[in-house]
Amino acid sequence: MGLVTLVMLVFLGLDINIRPEPGSEYVQEGVLGVILGLLQVLPVIFARKFPLLMLAVIFAAFVGHNALNHQVLWVAQFSSMLAFFLATSQSSDRRSLMAGGMSFAVIVVVFGIMREDVDQAIAISLLFAAVWMVGNVVRSRFRRLEVASRVIADLSEEQGRVSREAVVDERARIARELHDILGHTLNLIVIQAGAAQRVFEKTPEKALDNLSSIESTGRQALSDVDRLLGILRDPDDLSNSRSPSLEARPSISRLNSLVEEMGATGQPVELIISGSPTNIAPSTDLSAYRIVQEALTNVMTHAAGSKARVDIDYSEEFLAVTITNDSTGIDKLKGRKGGGSGVVGMRERTALFGGVFEAGSTDDGGWRVHATFPIGQTRRRGQTGDTE
């Protein structure tokens, strides 16, 4: 605004020097008139920051200048119109109305009462009315832009929050997967290594079988971990990778291999599958497999040698997984402090898919784990319940 004010000051000086014309009814500006003329121009410098206040100063100087019977400074009319536009376009609705009322009052006083020029008063009123409407349109558009900017900022913040939550959920999922893979595998390795140590002197060939089983179990675990961490790899790396580990995703269809691994350690497991798998999402299939794996790992840990049974029941609306064992096993952690998070993890897995989870003792002193997953259109909000 500084350059605009400087140009207006130049025109103000010229306007004061060439007018009024000789014989005019108006009085030539003296010191006070020049000061009032300057007060009609200089406030434009601060009109952006204080639009309504500067407009009031310009109007007050304009009325005072005309009250001294000086000729109207046309450059001052431009400055007042510029300040008026800023007051209507950058202020609130209330201040815009105040600026409009102030300008109308000044026009009536100066041109309608002091100069008694009704036609000029009407013309200038229409001009200021047009400026007032343009200023309000500009203010409305700026306001819509501000609202849009706030909405974009809020959406960006919400997107960031959702992304952070997705990262946390993914980390929790990977942690559950690693817990299931490593917990199951390490339990198998410890049991097989102990068995190999016990039979090494008498039957070395059985010890060798146990070591071979340890190797295959470890390789399978490495394959599963590689598949899991493959999610985090760069897509270009995955496209060039020929590792079969990414293809061998754990599934209910691979439970026979899991049961065979258990049998190799001396843990008898009976697998019964009812119905045919239809319309089961891969994520649900994986979670059901992990629940069976975790439950059987708990059997080996807390009831080693007991008779275990896995029932898989497919229906049109649900996938039911039940793992039971009797009370004939040996708790290898008896007397130790602390407990695992296996039941908690299984409950969370089931609830994630809107299923029902139950875990508790049976009447014969054994243990039962039951999880039901809704499939197809029957999926609903998860419900969980445990009995200790």
Q: What is the pLDDT of residues 22-78, one digit of tens each?
A: 556 667 777 787 888 788 888 888 878 888 888 888 889 888 888 887 777 777 778
> From CA 388, how far away is CA 281, in angstroms rounded?
31
Asked if pLDDT for residue 233 goes beyond 60, the answer is no
Classified as helix, coil or strand, 1 is coil
Chain centroid offset of residue 49 CA: 37
Q: What's the whole-number mean pLDDT along residues 326-344?
A: 66
Measured from the Cβ of residue 8, the count of other Cβ atoms closer than 10 Å reads 21
DSSP single-letter state for residue 240: H
Name residue 320's beta-bridge partners.
Answer: 313, 372
> From CA 134, how far away is CA 190, in angstroms rounded?
83
The answer to whether the peptide bond before residue 204 is cis (omega within 30 degrees of 0) is no
Q: How confident is the model at residue 248 (pLDDT cuts 50, 70, 90)?
A: low
Least confident segment among 132-136, 227-231, 328-332, 362-366 = 227-231
Asked if pLDDT for residue 371 goes beyond 90, the answer is yes
Asked if pLDDT for residue 128 goes beyond 60, the answer is yes
> From CA 183, how far away is CA 341, in angstroms rounded?
11
Whether 302 and 332 have beta carbons less than 8 Å apart is answered as yes
User: Which position has the higher pLDDT, 306 or 92?
Assistant: 306
Check residue 187 and give its pLDDT.
73
Highest mean pLDDT, choosing among 1-10, 333-342, 347-356: 347-356
Whether 388 and 360 have beta carbons less than 8 Å apart is answered as yes
Classified as helix, coil or strand, 20 is coil
Check residue 270 and give its pLDDT.
94
User: Which position has the higher pLDDT, 132 or 278?
Assistant: 132
Check residue 37 and give its pLDDT.
79
Angle at Cα 162 formed by Cα 161 and Cα 166, nearest 5°? 120
**Hey, what are 42's tokens?**
């200089």
> From CA 388, how far away is CA 382, in angstroms rounded?
20
Question: If you average pLDDT over every residue of the chain, what do you get?
Answer: 78
Q: How confident is the model at residue 245 (pLDDT cuts 50, 70, 90)?
A: very low
Which tens digits make up the pLDDT trace of 175-216? Answer: 777 777 677 677 778 877 887 788 787 888 877 877 887 877
Check residue 253 and give its pLDDT.
86
Predicted TM-score of the model (pTM): 0.45
Classified as helix, coil or strand, 53 is helix
Domains of the chain: 2-116 (no CATH), 263-388 (3.30.565.10)
Q: How confident is the model at residue 2 (pLDDT cuts 50, 70, 90)?
A: low
